[in-house]
Amino acid sequence: MNAYQIERFVHLLGAFGFVAAHGATAAITFKLRNESDPGRVRALLDLSRSTRGVMHGSFTLLLLGGIGAGFHGKWWSAGWIWAALVLLVLLFAAAFPLAVPYFKAMRQAAEREPPDQVELERLLRSPRGLILAWVETAGILVILYLMTFKPF
């Protein structure tokens, strides 16, 4: 086993963990659209929150392994690796200002006593969560395409 193989393994391990955690959050986002009970909304939001540690740790492994493999594989002169890296960072950076306030507002509406059912319904029926899930998923698929086919 050489350093390049180990770095690729770490990169793929990070990618797998990141996609698993992201997938759990995406599934929860889809499920939330059909909920109206504030207790169930809180439970689903808690479940989504519980995946953050795995997602952030996996993202770190993904980056470290990918950067190392990029050096050992001599990929840094290729355009595809830069496009994939920039897209990954943009997706990750965009998720915070778009997703965090949305889920925070949903949690606040569900935790009020009594729950703010009107606001909660508005947030639950908002297309924002679906848009986030689909954009993030499409971005991951584009990155997978770039890594697999190395088009440029």
Q: Can you spell out the DSSP letters for 85-140?
A: HHHHHHHHHHHHHHHHHHHHHHHHHHHSSS--HHHHHHHHH-THHHHHHHHHHHHH
pLDDT in tens, 31-45: 999 998 999 999 999
CB 106 within 8 A of CB 120: yes
Q: Which residue has the tokens 């840094």?
A: 76
- Examine residue 97 and say whether the peptide bond preceding it is cis (omega within 30 degrees of 0): no
The tally of CA atoms less than 13 A away on the side-chain side of residue 121 is 4
Contacts 24+ apart (CB under 8 A), 39-42: 39/110, 41/106, 41/107, 41/110, 41/120, 41/124, 42/107, 42/110, 42/111
For 43-56, how does the pLDDT look when each residue is reduced to its tens digit (9 = 90+)? Answer: 999 999 999 999 99
- Cβ of 118: how many Cβ atoms within 10 Å? 9
The full set of domain ranges for the chain reads: 3-149
Q: What is the pLDDT of residue 133?
A: 86
Total-model pTM: 0.84
Q: Which residue has the higher pLDDT, 42 or 89?
A: 42
Contact 35, 44 (CB under 8 A): yes
